[in-house]
Chains A and B, each alone.
Chain A
């Protein structure tokens, strides 16, 4: 079941190899932030660690950066063990959630800092700083103090500062969370562009599933110190390995039922055909709201339901349906130009699922 073991991962060059890493914070009681985590991040990929707060995603990032040592396990960068290297010896840079720009330095001095610490010649530092300022479109503000520029501009400076030493890996700790919605959308595209232009491996931490789906080459979904699933956005969204992943990524419907041969009898009594992979007994099914279709009540194979509510969302309308045993299902219907969807509350309708849309996510 686990997509971790796809064969093509081994055929590509690995940038960061996290090998059975655990992190336990001392204290009473001790907290297991990471529990035997293994993941291989490929070179030049936009890799996202996604999960709710407290799932261990930031801890994993801090371990890769070297701000915390792992309790057990090892971290390799390009095949070299870096588990015990201090952060200043790792060719990895970080964009911090609060940016952490040096307030006593100008924009240009912030960007130059890493290069200066590496002992680069003055001319090279100057050229790279100019190049970075251009890359993030901040040339006009190079002599400003970091306290005199806006949040979005600080974000760009933080990016330029982390990219300037041309690290092998760039870590981004929820860098967009402090920005407003429009700016965040802009920066998402900007980040993707920068990753393509620089060819640097990006490891991006977020709790925003939409952000993860939009930007990532691959996503690792985390919860309670474990990685639950690793895969491309489409696979994570359409083939969640368990209930948590299905629920955390996007909106979804859950149906409980019992396996009977090649189909599942759900609690309302309807039979739904799904690939069971040899499962028996009680199972949980999931289906995305946009894969639920309404149809005439008497259509062949339709489930009978009643519309309990219609909620308008602009581009689409969420249609809440109740099966005869009370099971709730949400269908996402595209709004008509009038803003209506052509159904009314209380109406009896038939519903069916798009072929292949229903997934088994365990018991």
Chain B
């Protein structure tokens, strides 16, 4: 009588609710993508199909600057945070459980717990005093801030992968004359790769669409793509923003697909 078991899918109204949730999730995004192909200048009134907003957006020097800046920050932050997260994951899983373990997890995942606005204000004040002391105004502040809040996003998939890994594989490598470094290089790292790639992509995307911390930390003239879009929308809503959003969405979908294909081959 296994079919007597409780099944959510059999409850009345399940299908209706499920469909509504999907509509709520995807309808606005669908409309945004649709209107990026609008021939007219409105984000609400359809006037025919056109690709004109894409070259227009790219022709805008401010958009181009912001895009390049965003990509530099996101790549640097993804690289730095993933490296640190990998070390943190190795450090927290490859040791005997200790009473302070939970505390360490909480501290590593701090950006997930602390409200973003608090971190933003704290960084603003902290960086302001460094700016005064050193006179440095560059992108370093944004990269440092993004690296910091991206760490938990990179850390979680890497740690999950490490915890699922069979430790006897490393013992076997040592038994077969591999030094600790060779064991890491030839066994641990290749097996960890899907986790590292997943972590890096999550960090990249998280950094790419951050608004709050970027707004507080950036110096004058350091618009990132999201802060630029926010500024635009405050003045007047243009289809240019739809086009940029669609491209960002496309980038995310491509990255997720690549990741999916990569990990499927691995396992």
One of A99-107, A176-184, A315-323 contacting the partner? A99-107
Residue from B168, B172, B182 having most chain A Cβ neighbours under 10 A:
B172
B61 to chain A: which residues have CB within 8 Å?
none
> Chain B residue with minimal CB distance to A94?
B175
Chain B 207-244 interface mask (CB, 8 Å, partner A; 1/0): 00000000000000000000000000000000000000
Distance from A287 Cβ to chain B, minimum over Cβ atoms (Å): 43
Distance from A145 Cβ to chain B, minimum over Cβ atoms (Å): 10
Q: Is A161 an interface residue (CB 8 A)?
A: yes
Contact present for B172 and A103 (CB under 8 Å): no
Q: Given A100-B166, A104-B190, A104-B266: A165 and B177 within 8 A (CB)? A: yes
Q: Is B122 an interface residue (CB 8 A)?
A: no
Contact present for B177 and A117 (CB under 8 Å): yes
> Chain A residue with minimal CB distance to B171?
A67
Interface size on A, residues (CB 8 A): 24
Contact present for B176 and A93 (CB under 8 Å): yes
B179 to chain A: which residues have CB within 8 Å?
88, 117
Q: How large is the interface on B (under 10, 10 to 19, 20 to 34, 35 or more residues)?
A: 10 to 19
Restricting to A72-115, which residues have a CB under 8 Å from any CB of B? 86-89, 92-94, 96, 98, 100-104, 113-114
B168 to chain A: which residues have CB within 8 Å?
96, 98, 100
Residue from B166, B177, B187 having most chain A Cβ neighbours under 10 A:
B177
Q: Is A246 an interface residue (CB 8 A)?
A: no
Contact present for B169 and A88 (CB under 8 Å): no
Chain B 178-215 interface mask (CB, 8 Å, partner A; 1/0): 11001000110011000000000000000000000000
Query: How long is the Cα–Cα vector from A92 to B187 in the complex, in angstroms?
Result: 20
Distance from B5 Cβ to chain A, minimum over Cβ atoms (Å): 32
When the two chains form the complex, which single residue of A87, A98, A104 contacts B175, counting CB atoms closer than 8 Å? A87
Contact present for A87 and B169 (CB under 8 Å): no
When the two chains form the complex, which single residue of B177, B187, B190 contacts A88, counting CB atoms closer than 8 Å? B177
Chain A 144-172 interface mask (CB, 8 Å, partner B; 1/0): 00000000000000000110010000000
Contact present for A88 and B266 (CB under 8 Å): no
Restricting to A97-149, which residues have a CB under 8 Å from any CB of B? 98, 100-104, 113-114, 117-118
Contact present for B171 and A87 (CB under 8 Å): yes
Chain A 23-65 interface mask (CB, 8 Å, partner B; 1/0): 0000000000000000000000000000000000000000001
Q: Is B174 an interface residue (CB 8 A)?
A: yes
Q: Is B72 an interface residue (CB 8 A)?
A: no
When the two chains form the complex, which single residue of B174, B177, B187, B266 contacts A102, counting CB atoms closer than 8 Å? B187
Query: How long is the Cα–Cα vector from A87 to B169 in the complex, in angstroms?
Result: 13
Chain B 45-84 interface mask (CB, 8 Å, partner A; 1/0): 0000000000000000000000000000000000000000
Contact present for B266 and A87 (CB under 8 Å): no
Query: How long is the Cα–Cα vector from A103 to B178 in the complex, in angstroms?
Result: 17
B175 to chain A: which residues have CB within 8 Å?
65-67, 87-88, 92-94, 162
A102 to chain B: which residues have CB within 8 Å?
169, 172-173, 187
Query: How long is the Cα–Cα vector from A32 to B192 in the complex, in angstroms?
Result: 35
B182 to chain A: which residues have CB within 8 Å?
117
Chain B 150-182 interface mask (CB, 8 Å, partner A; 1/0): 000000000000000010110111111111001
B173 to chain A: which residues have CB within 8 Å?
102, 113, 117
Q: Given A117-B177, A117-B178, A165-B177: A104 and B191 within 8 A (CB)? A: yes
Distance from B85 Cβ to chain A, minimum over Cβ atoms (Å): 21
A162 to chain B: which residues have CB within 8 Å?
175-176
Distance from B139 Cβ to chain A, minimum over Cβ atoms (Å): 37
Contact present for B174 and A87 (CB under 8 Å): yes
Contact present for B172 and A86 (CB under 8 Å): no
B190 to chain A: which residues have CB within 8 Å?
104
Distance from B81 Cβ to chain A, minimum over Cβ atoms (Å): 25
A161 to chain B: which residues have CB within 8 Å?
176
Distance from B99 Cβ to chain A, minimum over Cβ atoms (Å): 14
Contact present for A113 and B176 (CB under 8 Å): yes
> Chain B residue with minimal CB distance to A118?
B177
A65 to chain B: which residues have CB within 8 Å?
175
Contact present for B171 and A98 (CB under 8 Å): no
Distance from A285 Cβ to chain B, minimum over Cβ atoms (Å): 45
Query: How long is the Cα–Cα vector from A114 to B174 in the complex, in angstroms?
Result: 9
B174 to chain A: which residues have CB within 8 Å?
66-67, 86-88
Query: How long is the Cα–Cα vector from A118 to B174 in the complex, in angstroms?
Result: 11
> Chain B residue with minimal CB distance to A109?
B186
Query: How long is the Cα–Cα vector from A88 to B173 in the complex, in angstroms?
Result: 8
Residue from A67, A98, A102 having most chain B Cβ neighbours under 10 A:
A102
Contact present for B176 and A114 (CB under 8 Å): yes
Residue from B168, B176, B182 having most chain A Cβ neighbours under 10 A:
B176
B191 to chain A: which residues have CB within 8 Å?
103-104
Query: How long is the Cα–Cα vector from A113 to B187 in the complex, in angstroms?
Result: 10
Distance from A97 Cβ to chain B, minimum over Cβ atoms (Å): 8
Query: How long is the Cα–Cα vector from A103 to B188 in the complex, in angstroms?
Result: 11
B187 to chain A: which residues have CB within 8 Å?
102
When the two chains form the complex, which single residue of B166, B177, B186, B266 contacts A98, counting CB atoms closer than 8 Å? B166
A98 to chain B: which residues have CB within 8 Å?
166, 168
6 contacts between A and B (CB under 8 A): A88-B174, A93-B175, A94-B172, A100-B169, A104-B191, A113-B173
A interface vs B, CB < 8 Å? 65-67, 86-89, 92-94, 96, 98, 100-104, 113-114, 117-118, 161-162, 165
The 3 A-B pairs of least Cβ separation, nearest first, read A114-B176, A100-B172, A117-B177
B interface vs A, CB < 8 Å? 166, 168-169, 171-179, 182, 186-187, 190-191, 266
16 new A-B pairs (CB below 8 Å) besides A65-B175, A98-B168? Answer: A66-B174, A88-B176, A92-B175, A93-B175, A100-B166, A101-B172, A102-B187, A104-B266, A113-B178, A113-B186, A114-B176, A117-B177, A117-B178, A118-B177, A162-B175, A162-B176
